[in-house]
Amino acid sequence: MPAMLRSPVITMEDVDGVLLRVAHWPVEGQGAGRPLVFFNGIGANLELASGLGDMFPDREILTLDVPGVGGSPVTQWPYRHWMLARWIRKLVDRYGIDEMDVMGVSWGGALAQQFAFQYRARVKRLILCATTAGVTMIPGRPASLSKMVDTRRYSDPEFMRENFAKLYGDAADESAGGHIDNLMPPDPKG
């Protein structure tokens, strides 16, 4: 895996009493593209998005660990997507981001849709990857589905090495190792 050239600044941010671990890739100078706010899949910590800074060198990027994932502690109460979208809007305000593109992967795609719905005047592009609008989907292969619901995919690097292609497609390349090395198990309560 190539060395990362652009690393994020990682901070803990208190938003309405909820602690969120945030990664921010600032951009210096003129000609910067529109900021990108990225939402990861369920149980995926922000390190799994570490390559974004190098993929989009001209963009300011913001992502986070949702409560109970990575370094963000579990909340004391259950929360809904609309609440999480509001906390994230307060984060983007804090970083001075007015207009943005929003990208979500898997469960993060559902959150990206909620965010875009609530803050449609500020979201210029909505980019969805491997997600659904909430309707019933055509089921995948049982062998793949059984691996997808296995919690070891978030905590056991060997399980991921053995099953990466089954979970993420047969065309997985050497970058899979970087993804696997950045795994951080979510909190079972989160």
Task: List residues with catalytic annotation.
Answer: 106
Beta bridge partners of 13: 20
CA distance readout (Å), 53 to 4, 22, 56 = 8, 14, 5
Rounded to whole angstroms, how far apart are CA atoms 96 and 155?
Answer: 35
Choose among 157, 184, 39, 154: nearest CA to 100.
39
Q: Is 68 exposed, middle or buried (0-12, 13-18, 19+ CB in 10 A)?
A: middle
Side-chain-side CA neighbours of residue 73 (13 Å): 10
Question: Where are the alpha helices (H) located in the chain, listed in sequence order?
Answer: 52-55, 81-94, 107-118, 142-148, 157-168, 176-181
Closest to 55 measured CA to CA, from 14, 78, 25: 25
Closest CA to 36 of 55, 16, 21, 20: 55
